[in-house]
Chain A
Amino acid sequence: GAVVSQHPSWVICKSGTSVKIECRSLDFQATTMFWYRQFPKQSLMLMATSNEGSKATYEQGVEKDKFLINHASLTLSTLTVTSAHPEDSSFYICSAPYRAGNSYEQYFGPGTRLTVT
């Protein structure tokens, strides 16, 4: 089946620094990927849609200058949290749609836990 990986799996950074998270589709191509964040004991909230070769589409309330998304190839999307603050600490998860029969299934990466100190 389809596999989506994320790197790193966890990261600790100091306030004011930037952190890059990678999302890769390992055995299929994905022109679109999705980035979510999940706070403890809460559901996933869509942050943005990453589009290969074009600008990302951000959900309402998500600062595009803070959460930079680059979809550089058909298998890689990156999320950069710029000037991170403690309130950015969260679990970040990506997904990519994979064709299964006549429909698509979203495959999720294992997530990246970001802690900003």
Chain B
Amino acid sequence: DTAVSQTPKYLVTQMGNDKSIKCEQNLGHDTMYWYKQDSKKFLKIMFSYNNKELIINETVPNRFSPKSPDKAHLNLHINSLELGDSAVYFCASSHLPTNTEAFFGQGTRLTVV
């Protein structure tokens, strides 16, 4: 019944490693997002896809690469992890790409050591 689900929930890894976070939504939404929430709880959009097409790409290091195999899935791959990448990453989806509610996943707490 989970609307937006992400895996894993927790991820602890060493600097320099490459890791992926997966996200799936069963709401039939066309638009999906990745948000980063830092230690001060600030929520910042990273990427958005609409029907598998990248529509928002904020100023994010190119070590971060999203991939949407279909409109129900949006994965995030991170290369060469750095300490500053430690944060909670939230996937979200919305019915339309504009002016509609975003439904968030439960978050992935990434800790880089």
A-B complex is real: no
Residues of chain B touching chain A, judged by Cβ–Cβ distance below 8 Å, are none
